[in-house]
Amino acid sequence: MKFKFVQVACAAAAGALLLSSCAGATEAEEVTGEGSAVNAVNKEAPLYSELPANVRDAGKIIVGSQLSSPPVIYLDTDAKTIKGLNYDMATALSKELGVPLEFQQISFASLTPSLQSGKIDAIFDMFSDTAERQETFDFVDYIHNGLTYLVPKGNPEGVSTSGDLCGKTLSGVRGTSLVAFLEEQAAKCQVEGKSELVIQQFGSASDARLQVQTGKSAAFLGQTLTMGYLADTAGEGKIFDAVTDDSYPLELIGMAFSKKDNDLRDALKSAFDNIMTNGTYGEILAKYDRADLAVEQPAVNGGK
C-alpha cells in the first residue's frame, strides 16, 4: 500500500537505539507499507455502499498516527515504510471498505485537534477509549491493552507497580491517559507525605523513552503492546526491560471519530466485524503474538 503522509513528528526506528531528534514539518512524502493492500477504490467491496458520500467522493479515509509505536504502527529504518499491527489492520479494513486508509504522521498531542478540525477522518494509533474522551469522540474498540514500565536493563530503581513510583522520575507522552495515571499517583505521594514523583512530559514517545536510555528517568510509562517489543529489540535486547503492572486494569484501544461522523464510525465497525468473522483479525494478532489482547467483538464506546 502506498500513502502520502505529512511528517509532523519524528519516529524512532524499531530495534534501533532510541536516540533521535525531531525535525519540523516537511513536504508530503510517499511511503509504503508491507504486504498486499488496497491502492485504489473498489466499488464492489463488501462495505463500499456503507461509506458516507464524502468519503466515497474523496476515495480514501485519512487517519492520523504518530507512526512511532512498534510493533503497532511505525516507520521502518528507511523512515518511509509503514509497518505494524495497525497497518495490517488498515490493509484488511481497506479490502472490506473498498478505499485505502491513508496515514498522516501527527504528534500525539496534535491528534485530537487534527480530528476536531477535520484535518483527518479518524485517529488510528494507540488511542485509549476513556469516558472523558467519549465526551468529544466516538470510538470503535478493537484491542485491549495494559500498562508496562520500560526501564533500564536490570531495572536498577526497582519499578514494578504504582506503589514504587514515589521519589522517582518517570517520563511519558503529553496528553495520554498514562500521564494522567502518573499525575494521580503523584497526588497520592503528596497526600501520603512521601517523596515527590516527578513527571517528565514529551511530545513524542521516542523523546520520552530517550530519558530512560540516557539515565534521566527511572522508567517510561507506556502500553504493553509496545513496551515488550522495544525491550526485546532495542539494542538487541540489551538496553531495556519491560515490567507490566498487573494492578492496572486492561483498557480498550479504539479508532476515534468525530461525533458528527456516525456513518463512517459504523462503516468501520462493520469492517472490523467482517475481519473478525473471516479470521483475518485473529491472524494479525497471532502474527504479533498478541492474541491475548483480542476483543470478542468490536464495540462502540466500550471504554470506561
pLDDT on residue 134: 97
Examine the fold and report which residue of 244, 263, 280 is the final residue of a domain before the chain moves on.
244
**pLDDT at 36 > cutoff 90:** no
Is residue 208, in this structure, part of any structural domain at all? Answer: yes
**pLDDT at 11 > cutoff 90:** no
**Do residue 286 and residue 137 come from a single domain?**
yes
Is residue 123, in this structure, part of any structural domain at all? Answer: yes
**Do residue 131 and residue 263 come from a single domain?**
yes
What pLDDT digit, counting tens, does each position of 44-58 carry? 999 999 999 999 999
What pLDDT digit, counting tens, does each position of 169-203 carry? 999 999 888 898 899 999 999 999 999 999 999 98
Examine the fold and report which residue of 244, 275, 290 is the final residue of a domain before the chain moves on.
244
* CATH number of the domain to which 159 belongs: 3.40.190.10
Of all residues in the chain, the percent with pLDDT exceeding 90 is 72
Q: Which of 6-10, 79-83, 202-206, 275-279 has the lowest mean pLDDT?
A: 6-10
Name 237's Cβ contacts closer than 8 Å, sequence gap at least 6: 231
Residue type, 185: Q
**Do residue 41 and residue 112 come from a single domain?**
yes
Is residue 189, in this structure, part of any structural domain at all? Answer: yes
Q: What pairs with residue 144 in β-bridges?
A: 252
Is residue 12, in this structure, part of any structural domain at all? Answer: yes
pLDDT on residue 139: 98
Domain that holds residue 8: 2-145+252-298
Phi first, then psi, for residue 268 (nearest 5°) are -70, -35
Contact between 231 and 219 (Cβ < 8 Å): no
Task: Indicate the length of the chain as a whole number.
Answer: 304
Name 276's Cβ contacts closer than 8 Å, sequence gap at least 6: 282, 297, 298
**Do residue 128 and residue 257 come from a single domain?**
yes
How does residue 30 score in pLDDT terms, banded at 50, 70 and 90?
A: very low
**Do residue 68 and residue 217 come from a single domain?**
no
**Do residue 99 and residue 156 come from a single domain?**
no
pLDDT on residue 38: 52
Range 259-273 average pLDDT: 98
Burial class (CB within 10 angstroms; exposed 0-12, middle 13-18, buried 19+) of 289: exposed
How does residue 249 score in pLDDT terms, banded at 50, 70 and 90?
A: confident
Residue with the bigger pLDDT between 177 and 277: it is 277
Q: Show the cell assigned to 300.
A: 462502540
Name 94's Cβ contacts closer than 8 Å, sequence gap at least 6: 1, 37, 38, 100, 101
CA distance 134 to 258: 10
How does residue 255 score in pLDDT terms, banded at 50, 70 and 90?
A: very high
Burial class (CB within 10 angstroms; exposed 0-12, middle 13-18, buried 19+) of 81: middle
Q: Show the cell assigned to 108.
A: 500525539
**Do residue 77 and residue 207 come from a single domain?**
no
pLDDT on residue 222: 87
Is residue 303, in this structure, part of any structural domain at all? Answer: no
**Do residue 138 and residue 30 come from a single domain?**
yes
The helix (run of H) or strand (run of E) holding residue 204 is: none
pLDDT on residue 67: 92
pLDDT on residue 266: 98
**pLDDT at 16 > cutoff 60:** no
pLDDT on residue 31: 47
Examine the fold and report which residue of 244, 268, 284 is the final residue of a domain before the chain moves on.
244
**Do residue 136 and residue 281 come from a single domain?**
yes
Is residue 304, in this structure, part of any structural domain at all? Answer: no
Could you tell me the sign of the dihedral formed by the alpha carbons of 185, 191, 194, 197, in that order?
A: positive
pLDDT on residue 248: 79
Is residue 37, in this structure, part of any structural domain at all? Answer: yes
**pLDDT at 225 > cutoff 90:** no
Mean pLDDT of the chain, nearest integer: 87
Is residue 126, in this structure, part of any structural domain at all? Answer: yes
DSSP E strand boundaries for the chain: 2-5, 29-33, 61-65, 68-69, 73-75, 81-83, 101-105, 122-123, 137-145, 147-152, 169-173, 198-202, 219-223, 240-244, 251-258, 294-300
Could you tell me the sign of the dihedral formed by the alpha carbons of 149, 153, 154, 155, in that order?
A: negative
Of all residues in the chain, the percent with pLDDT exceeding 70 is 87
Residue closest to 61 by CA, chosen among 74, 50, 72: 50
CA distance 287 to 281: 10
**Do residue 157 and residue 127 come from a single domain?**
no
**Do residue 106 and residue 237 come from a single domain?**
no
Number of domains in the chain: 2
**pLDDT at 10 > cutoff 80:** no
Q: Show the cell assigned to 196.
A: 515527590
**Do residue 97 and residue 185 come from a single domain?**
no
pLDDT on residue 69: 87
